[in-house]
Structure 1
């Protein structure tokens, strides 16, 4: 079975800055062993499925997973600092599952809710809200999106710092595309892109994504690291197209072109993005 077609934004905070309750959980998880990147998608899928029964997810807190990286693995500008290590990313699976469940209750028809849930929706909503309230930072450390990457996310990374790992097969779990960036650099890049985009295009669309992303980043320690990871999306793209993907370069070029009023460059870069991500959108629609 292929991994879920999910991409991620992750925040890795220094273990030393976490408050006591969360730090205890993280240390315990680290003793058991951090979850390998290659297993994240399958582990999340397992819990998403369990969460649909509500009883499995909401009353207990037994599911706690963490990823970890070293500060040495994070490129930084002269104005940014990351660490000290280890840098840890709690996957916040219970909270993210609870949030997904709340979203399901808000959007699904009553007949579908009745078929999917084993207890009353009001009870599920109350328990889910309680789970989300457990977050010490007030925000999950991971944001995920299916089948695509929101294009404004690329504004926070340096295109030159892309990490590409090809493997023996397109569905090899070790295959990856990702970027890492110091929190201070990510915040600076997002703030600059938001200012440019709002001036050129207004407050909706890309500006809203950038504003929401900027607010999310503010929940975490300034010496953290941010990772943009294609996750399971790499299964949908062959090696040649993966290596030639210029999404981060194109988005950053669009921000520069919007700032200088170069409409021709904006159109050229957007066409490149539309071609690459449009193909993934067609895969979603047609399976």
Structure 2
């Protein structure tokens, strides 16, 4: 799973922030290397609980579990290029709310027969789902979650937000090393500027669907947060699926920025070549979804 995260200054969570949050930030028990394992653990716990929980990080009565206020990632402003902070910078996992949003999306898009099967297996009614998901989303400190995630691939428009030269690469001891990383960090102001410029360029040349729509949605999402925040694009668990030589030579961010340059200059030949290279690279990873 890959992630796009926003880390806000602690002051953005209240003046003063809650004592529970302050203690969680001071302890900083989670890292980007362990966050995937933590999310997986919370999902599994929700399924083996009796009764089964509708959402992870939720109690049997539908109330949020204490972990919803303590599961946070913490970042030092010095680790982010550009003007951010003051620190510490905080990204709540908000797994309960993110799961609620995903459930609402699934039930809205799934064929009625499949949606009914899922509800029956969970022993819940549509009314109960609406009530629980509304409560979970209503408990967010902001109008949006701090984390967007995708499985098997990274949406190419996300690369437009970052500076390719600021890549953070750690191959670790191999593909199973939790410390293995490929990520970028950027200030909110730079991310918003790049998103707006890329969206306008893509809209003017390719229209307002596809990549332009993703850029517009991402830009709108970013505006929910403090302008002194940091944004992180993280390959997350995808790095465990990519061999060292391929991960080390990954040029997806460079190629997306080259595509934007080709759009500016009208270089159709270069544009087609870059699109083909990216499609081939990411389609190999995306294809694994059909085998799982």
TM-score normalized with structure 1 length: 0.91
Q: Secondary structure at the match of 2:54?
A: coil
The yes-or-no answer on 1:253 pairing with 2:253 is: no
By how many angstroms is 1:231 displaced? 0.2
The yes-or-no answer on 1:126 pairing with 2:131 is: yes
The yes-or-no answer on 1:218 pairing with 2:209 is: no
Describe the shift of the 1:96–1:24 C-alpha distance in structure 2 as closer, same or farther (beyond 3 A): farther
- Which residue number in structure 2 is paired with residue 102 of structure 1? 104
Deviates more, 1:159-168 or 1:26-35: 26-35
The yes-or-no answer on 1:61 pairing with 2:77 is: no
RMSD (CA atoms): 1.7
The yes-or-no answer on 1:44 pairing with 2:66 is: no
Q: Secondary structure at the match of 2:185?
A: strand
Q: Secondary structure at the match of 1:37?
A: coil
CA distance in 2, matches of 1:24, 1:95: 21
Residue of 214, 220, 236 corresponding to 1:209: 214
- Which residue number in structure 2 is paired with residue 272 of structure 1? 277
- Which residue number in structure 1 is paired with residue 85 of structure 2? 83
CA distance in 1, matches of 2:55, 2:281: 41
CA distance in 1, matches of 2:87, 2:26: 16
- Which residue number in structure 2 is paired with residue 15 of structure 1? 10
CA distance in 2, matches of 1:152, 1:25: 36
Aligned positions, number: 277
CA distance in 1, matches of 2:55, 2:39: 17
- Which residue number in structure 1 is paired with residue 117 of structure 2? 111
CA distance in 1, matches of 2:144, 2:241: 30
CA distance in 1, matches of 2:18, 2:35: 21
CA distance in 2, matches of 1:164, 1:241: 12
By how many angstroms is 1:120 displaced? 2.2
CA distance in 2, matches of 1:239, 1:59: 43
Q: Secondary structure at the match of 2:3?
A: strand
CA distance in 2, matches of 1:90, 1:21: 17
TM-score normalized with structure 2 length: 0.90
- Which residue number in structure 2 is paired with residue 237 of structure 1? 242
The yes-or-no answer on 1:191 pairing with 2:186 is: no
Q: Where do 5+ consecutive residues of structure 2 fail to align?
A: none
Structure 1 contact 179–227 (Cα < 8 Å) conserved: yes
Describe the shift of the 1:267–1:279 C-alpha distance in structure 2 as closer, same or farther (beyond 3 A): same
By how many angstroms is 1:118 displaced? 2.9
